[in-house]
Chains A and B, each alone.
Chain A
Amino acid sequence: MANVDVTQELPLPVERPPASAVGPLGWLRANLFNGTFNTVLTVAAVGLLAVAIPPLIRWAVIDAVWSATSGQACRAGGACWAFIGQKLRFIMFGTFPYEQQWRPLLVVVIFIALIVASCNRQLWGRRLGLLWLAGLVTVGVLMWGGAFGIAYVPDEAWSGLPLTLILATVGMAFAFPLAVLLALGRRSKLPAVRGICVAYIELVRGVPLITVLFMASVMLPLFLPTGITIDKLLRAQLAIILFAAAYLSEVIRGGLQSIPKGQIEAADALGLGYWQTTRLIVLPQALAVVIPPLVNTFIGTFKDTTLVIIIGLFDLLGTVTTSLSDANWRGFAVEAYVFTAAFYFCFCFFMSRYSQMLEREFNKGRQR
């Protein structure tokens, strides 16, 4: 052992990294000015922002008109937010009877409360399911009425934000379990089950949502016996559920395929049955893997609900578009659409942030 050269008996002292690698200066260097190309890009981007932002602020804030009684008084060159103020009730609740609009307002509050409650993982379980059931029943009672002394409102009059929230939330809530079943079915050993699932997924994925909505509202009545009609809202809701389920199921199948065979063998060897293995071992791992594409699909579905305008339902985008046709308030499309876009952005951004938080939580202490 004489050849072994021992140079260091004691462990080497712990040293701090060089100053240029840490702190704000290090961050700037690593992220903005590492190399000629990135330096040019950084300078160009800053220049572009300097040109674009001041006029935008001037339009949106400094020159903006915040209150006005008519469209004429609102043409100062800046944004006319007074238009939004004037039309807010209509944009939010559309054609719902004016004096009854506290009902859809309450519905929106209930939805947001349910969504916030669902974000707390401690509440996940049977009780949350019951909470949702109770919430949806309350929503139904509030929107339709005709009981507890509140007037009946047919669902043709439902519009604006509550309609968007109902279509999206109910759509996702029903599409998700359906998608899990489809994904499991597509991997089934039984040829009939697999065949049906594959056919369904391929068929629905292969056509645009608009066609499904159209077919549901135009063609379906032709097939049904006279006298039997399916409610327009229900048709749209079904179309969204069936459509989203096909997309979600493929995302979930991706997750299922990422689970090593050993996991299922270990569960089998412990005597767990198929459904127990699926629920306790496979799905929790598979779904955690596919959170990013799942949320992608959820966001897509949420925005796709705007297509119901094609069959004459007025969701948030529909009521905004309608409000533009007021002869006294012509020409404020930009303001209206900026306002709607902000609304959609808030919901989508929330979903995206929440999914990132979930990912972090699921990956805590896991092997990767």
Chain B
Amino acid sequence: MAEADLPIIELRQVHKWYGEFHVLKDINLEVKKGERVVVCGPSGSGKSTMIRCINRLEDHQQGQIIVAGIELTADVKNIEAIRREVGMVFQQFNLFPHLTVLENLTLAPIWVRKSPRKEAEETARLYLERVRIPEQADKYPGQLSGGQQQRVAIARSLCMKPEIMLFDEPTSALDPEMIKEVLDVMIELAQEGMTMVCVTHEMGFARTVADTMVFMDRGEIVERGPPKDFFTNPQSDRTKLFLSQILAH
């Protein structure tokens, strides 16, 4: 399909500053429909900032970001249109603690997509089934384990039927024994063809699902390529150093 080759996310010469600090330097990135991109790099390298620019939780000061054919500007209409198509999963889950799991899942479909409540609830239960916690629908987030909360957060994003999913270190706040249950859900999602941009340190996961690896350091993209080449034959010294540290044990 010719359409599949068109980029659904495009970052062109994007720069961002926090005050005087240059966080993103000349970022160029294209993500095609159905492509899985894993972004890695040392902490403070700007990887979270970059994916948070894609749904404009952060604004960039120079360059262009085009998502699903819409350019991100200060225009609130554009921002809201893009956010409807882009789901995001956070490191800290950010579930709404005053709402039940089911209400967390149906909130945006009802208020943003204007779906009828009944339909929204059916969809929500379907996705809870898919993340394997249908029995938790009526509990509050505070009553669930970290791994369950993160799976609810993934389901909450999926209920909006997004074209793209962004993951910002989804397993970094989890206890080790819960990482797998979240990664399993993400792998399934990848196998179904979801377009994904994922910031993570889980290199096993990256090997399994990534089409493209992106390595960032000090605000720039240092290296990119298919995981096979990236892991076995990294080009830059900075990538080599990072991989040696992260894969050492």
Q: A266 at interface (Cβ–Cβ under 8 A)?
A: yes
Q: A121 at interface (Cβ–Cβ under 8 A)?
A: no
Taking a contact as CB atoms under 8 Å apart, the answer to whether B140 and A271 are in contact is no
Which residues of B are found within 8 Å of A269, using beta-carbon distances?
55, 57, 83, 86-88, 90, 157
Taking a contact as CB atoms under 8 Å apart, the answer to whether A272 and B141 are in contact is no
- Per-residue CB contact flags for chain B residues 178-196 toward chain A (1 = under 8 Å, else 0) read 0000000000000000000
Q: A366 at interface (Cβ–Cβ under 8 A)?
A: yes
* Cβ < 8 Å to B, chain A residues 353-368: 362, 365-368
Specify which of A262, A271, A281, A367 is in contact with B142 (CB 8 Å cutoff): A367
Q: B92 at interface (Cβ–Cβ under 8 A)?
A: yes
Q: A61 at interface (Cβ–Cβ under 8 A)?
A: no
Specify which of B80, B88, B142 is in contact with A273 (CB 8 Å cutoff): B80
Taking a contact as CB atoms under 8 Å apart, the answer to whether B83 and A270 are in contact is yes
Taking a contact as CB atoms under 8 Å apart, the answer to whether A263 and B143 are in contact is no
The CA of A285 and the CA of B96, in the complex, are separated in Å by: 9
Q: A202 at interface (Cβ–Cβ under 8 A)?
A: no
Majority secondary structure of chain A interface residues (helix, strand, loop or mixed): helix
* Cβ < 8 Å to A, chain B residues 63-109: 76, 80, 83-84, 86-88, 90, 92, 94-98, 107-108
Specify which of A263, A285, A368 is in contact with B94 (CB 8 Å cutoff): A263
Taking a contact as CB atoms under 8 Å apart, the answer to whether A270 and B140 are in contact is no
Taking a contact as CB atoms under 8 Å apart, the answer to whether B90 and A265 are in contact is yes
Q: B156 at interface (Cβ–Cβ under 8 A)?
A: yes
Taking a contact as CB atoms under 8 Å apart, the answer to whether B97 and A285 are in contact is yes
How many whole Å from A338's CB to the nearest CB in chain B? Answer: 43
How many whole Å from B211's CB to the nearest CB in chain A? Answer: 24
Which residues of A are found within 8 Å of B92, using beta-carbon distances?
262
Specify which of A262, A276, A366, A367 is in contact with B111 (CB 8 Å cutoff): A276
Specify which of A271, A362, A368 is in contact with B80 (CB 8 Å cutoff): A271
Taking a contact as CB atoms under 8 Å apart, the answer to whether A270 and B160 are in contact is yes
* Cβ < 8 Å to B, chain A residues 230-285: 260, 262-263, 265-273, 276, 280-281, 284-285
Specify which of A270, A271, A273, A367 is in contact with B97 (CB 8 Å cutoff): A367
How many residues in B have their beta carbons less than 8 Å from beta carbons of A? 29
Residue of B nearest to A276 (CB): B111
Majority secondary structure of chain B interface residues (helix, strand, loop or mixed): mixed
Q: A68 at interface (Cβ–Cβ under 8 A)?
A: no
Which residues of A are found within 8 Å of B98, using beta-carbon distances?
284-285, 288, 362, 366
Which residues of B are found within 8 Å of A276, using beta-carbon distances?
111-112
Taking a contact as CB atoms under 8 Å apart, the answer to whether A280 and B111 are in contact is yes
Residue of B nearest to A265 (CB): B57
* Cβ < 8 Å to A, chain B residues 126-162: 139-143, 153, 156-157, 160
How many whole Å from A277's CB to the nearest CB in chain B? Answer: 10
Residue of B nearest to A368 (CB): B142
Residue of A nearest to B88 (CB): A269
How many whole Å from A266's CB to the nearest CB in chain B? Answer: 4
Which residues of A are found within 8 Å of B139, using beta-carbon distances?
365
Which residues of A are found within 8 Å of B80, using beta-carbon distances?
271, 273
Which residues of A are found within 8 Å of B88, using beta-carbon distances?
266, 269
How many whole Å from B123's CB to the nearest CB in chain A? Answer: 14
Taking a contact as CB atoms under 8 Å apart, the answer to whether B142 and A365 are in contact is yes
Which residues of B are found within 8 Å of A365, using beta-carbon distances?
139-140, 142-143
How many whole Å from A263's CB to the nearest CB in chain B? Answer: 6
The CA of A260 and the CA of B94, in the complex, are separated in Å by: 9
Q: Which residue, of A269, A272, A368, has the highest number of chain B Cβ atoms within 10 A?
A: A269
A and B contact pairs by CB, cutoff 8 A, 21 listed: A265-B57, A265-B90, A268-B83, A269-B55, A269-B83, A269-B86, A269-B90, A270-B83, A270-B107, A270-B112, A271-B108, A271-B160, A272-B111, A273-B80, A285-B97, A362-B98, A365-B140, A365-B143, A366-B98, A367-B140, A367-B141
Apart from A272-B107, A281-B96: 19 A-B pairs, beta carbons within 8 A:
A262-B94, A265-B57, A265-B90, A266-B153, A268-B57, A269-B83, A269-B86, A270-B83, A270-B160, A271-B84, A271-B160, A272-B111, A272-B112, A280-B107, A280-B111, A285-B98, A365-B142, A366-B140, A368-B142
Q: Pick the 4 closest A-B CB pairs, nearest first.
A: A367-B142, A266-B94, A270-B108, A269-B88
